[in-house]
């Protein structure tokens, strides 16, 4: 299979695309992949580091209010379509996959106009503008949340596949997670992480919560602060607790997140689509704190969907404090029945075969061409 992947701006768009590409290669080692993205986006660094050929297309997003900049954006879009057609004619893909972000627009649109089978994947419960625009042109729309299904009425075909990032974590070995933390297998772990870069509001709550952790002496708290916040968080933590307890494990970053996730009893996390996919694939109960600093507040929609299923509790950031967070953690960690019920609900949401489901849809598109 010759496949073009496109998606960018944030890791939430890039990593699902890479997971699909990885699954394609695993199923057919002779497959070829080309990634088309923005020259200034995160994908321009992440994708080449994975050894995948990368080609840039200049594009910017529409402003939600009337603006002269939108006229410039239309011109960039048309230019991006021409550039995309050149790249597609040269690479001759069997199928094109878009996972969101502005750069998907010209690439998937160009592929549709050239008669190349296309699939777009929507990670969030509340779809992004680009994917809503592309739905009428794509051969298939794959979604991660059932709530998204009615939002794509114009789609030719729509399927709930889950998020392909889920496939990666189910292969991880939990024992390696315990070992990397220096803990015995079976230890009770609350993993707290505010995304790859960290989250100041969550770090502040972690620090304020430290004096209360003695109420859960058998629980290990793994705090992932983000590298830029680590030193400052440690200074504050030492002021609160000069001798940090043995059950508190502050870390700047986790390079083996899937393995540590597999070892976690409860996770406190932002509610990005990829994070939720990984959490539910492993059936982990969660406390979700949506970031208020994302487009269209989509993290809150994601978190609300998981919370309504019984797999998570949600705390809006403006209501977050060390005391409120600890009370949520304490009430869950001291109730084994509740932990079990939340875990079961989480597993029901999880779709660990997501990547292979999407590849099956790609094969159908190619066969029906």
Confidence of residue 234 (pLDDT cuts 50, 70, 90): very high
Residue 286 near residue 311, CB atoms below 8 Å: yes
- How far apart, in whole angstroms, are the C-alpha atoms of residue 168 and residue 218? 30
pLDDT tens figures, 105-143: 999 999 999 999 999 999 999 998 899 999 999 999 999
Confidence of residue 62 (pLDDT cuts 50, 70, 90): low
239 and 265 co-located in one domain: yes
More confident residue, 345 or 244: 345
Q: Enter the tokens of residue 227.
A: 């590298």
The confidence score (pLDDT) of residue 71 equals 62
212 and 297 co-located in one domain: yes
328 CB-near residues (< 8 Å, 6+ apart): 287, 313, 315
Dihedral angle sign, alpha carbons of residues 113, 114, 115, 116 = negative
Alpha helices in 92-225 (DSSP H): 104-113, 129-134, 165-169, 174-181, 200-209
157 and 282 co-located in one domain: no
Task: Order across the sheet with 312-314: list the strands.
Answer: 248-251, 219-224, 188-193, 266-269, 286-288, 312-314
305 CB-near residues (< 8 Å, 6+ apart): 125, 145, 147
Residues in binding site: 10-12, 124, 196, 299
pLDDT tens figures, 202-214: 999 999 999 999 9
210 and 109 co-located in one domain: no
- How far apart, in whole angstroms, are the C-alpha atoms of residue 99 and residue 159? 14
Over residues 226-247, the mean pLDDT reads 91
Over residues 225-229, the mean pLDDT reads 93
- How far apart, in whole angstroms, are the C-alpha atoms of residue 154 and residue 131? 11
More confident residue, 52 or 255: 52
Over residues 318-323, the mean pLDDT reads 96
pLDDT tens figures, 69-83: 656 777 888 999 999
Residues in binding site for UDP-N-acetyl-alpha-D-glucosamine: 10-12, 124, 196, 299
114 and 42 co-located in one domain: yes
69 and 102 co-located in one domain: yes
271 DSSP assignment: -
Residue 300 has pLDDT above 80, yes or no: yes
The confidence score (pLDDT) of residue 69 equals 62
Residue with tokens 């989250």: 199
The confidence score (pLDDT) of residue 323 equals 96
Give the predicted TM-score (pTM) of the model.
0.85
Question: Across the chain, what does the average pLDDT equal?
Answer: 93
Residue 278 has pLDDT above 70, yes or no: yes
187 and 327 co-located in one domain: yes
Alpha helices in the chain (DSSP H): 11-27, 43-49, 68-91, 104-113, 129-134, 165-169, 174-181, 200-209, 230-240, 257-263, 273-281, 298-308, 322-333, 336-349, 354-367
The confidence score (pLDDT) of residue 297 equals 86
Question: Where in the sequence is the domain holding 317, given as residue range(s)?
Answer: 171-349
209 and 151 co-located in one domain: no
Residue with tokens 């609160």: 240
The confidence score (pLDDT) of residue 175 equals 94
Environment class of 270 (CB within 10 Å of its CB; exposed 0-12, middle 13-18, buried 19+) = buried
Alpha helices in 267-335 (DSSP H): 273-281, 298-308, 322-333
- How far apart, in whole angstroms, are the C-alpha atoms of residue 369 and residue 367? 6
Query: Residue 137 maps to which CATH number?
Result: 3.40.50.2000
129 and 26 co-located in one domain: yes
161 and 186 co-located in one domain: no
The confidence score (pLDDT) of residue 61 equals 57
154 and 244 co-located in one domain: no
Q: Please give the share of the chain, as a percent, with pLDDT higher than 70.
A: 96
Residue 9 has pLDDT above 70, yes or no: yes
Residue 298 near residue 122, CB atoms below 8 Å: no
126 and 228 co-located in one domain: no
Residue with tokens 């540590």: 260
- How many domains is the chain partitioned into structurally? 2
Kindly report which listed range (44-48, 254-258, 340-344) carries the lowest average pLDDT score. Answer: 254-258
Kindly report which listed range (22-26, 112-116, 118-122, 296-300) carries the lowest average pLDDT score. Answer: 296-300
């Amino acid at each position: 299979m010759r496949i073009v992947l496109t998606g960018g701006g944030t890791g939430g768009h890039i990593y699902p695309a890479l997971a699909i590409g990885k699954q394609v290669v695993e199923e057919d080692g002779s497959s070829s992949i080309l990634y088309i993205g923005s020259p200034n986006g995160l994908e321009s660094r992440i994708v080449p580091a994975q050894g995948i050929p990368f080609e840039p297309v200049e594009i910017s997003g529409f402003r939600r209010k009337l603006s002269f900049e939108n006229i410039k954006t239309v011109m960039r879009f048309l230019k991006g379509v021409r550039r995309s057609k050149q790249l597609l004619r040269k690479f001759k893909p069997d199928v094109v996959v878009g996972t969101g972000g502005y750069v998907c627009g010209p690439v998937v649109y160009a592929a549709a106009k050239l008669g190349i089978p296309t699939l777009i994947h929507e990670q969030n419960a509340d779809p992004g503008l680009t994917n809503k625009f592309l739905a009428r042109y794509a051969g298939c729309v794959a979604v991660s949340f059932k709530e998204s299904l009615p939002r794509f009425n114009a789609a030719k075909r729509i399927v709930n596949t889950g998020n392909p990032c889920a496939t990666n974590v189910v292969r991880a070995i939990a024992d390696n997670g315990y070992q990397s933390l220096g803990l015995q297998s079976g230890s009770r772990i609350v993993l707290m992480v505010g995304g790859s870069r960290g989250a100041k509001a969550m770090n502040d709550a972690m620090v304020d919560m430290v004096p209360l952790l003695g109420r859960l002496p058998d629980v290990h708290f793994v705090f992932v602060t983000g590298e830029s916040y680590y030193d400052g968080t440690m200074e504050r933590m030492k002021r609160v607790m000069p001798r940090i307890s043995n059950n508190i494990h502050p870390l700047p970053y986790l390079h083996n997140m899937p393995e540590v996730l597999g070892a976690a009893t409860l996770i406190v996390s932002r509610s990005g689509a990829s994070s939720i996919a990984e959490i539910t694939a492993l059936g982990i109960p969660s406390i979700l704190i949506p970031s208020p600093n994302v487009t269209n507040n989509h993290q809150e929609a994601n978190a609300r969907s998981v919370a309504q299923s019984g797999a998570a509790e949600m705390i809006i950031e403006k209501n977050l404090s060390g005391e409120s967070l600890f009370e949520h953690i304490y009430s869950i960690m001291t109730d084994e029945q509740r932990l079990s019920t939340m875990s079961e609900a989480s597993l029901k949401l999880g779709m660990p075969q997501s990547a292979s489901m999407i590849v099956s849809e790609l094969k159908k598109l190619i066969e029906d061409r």
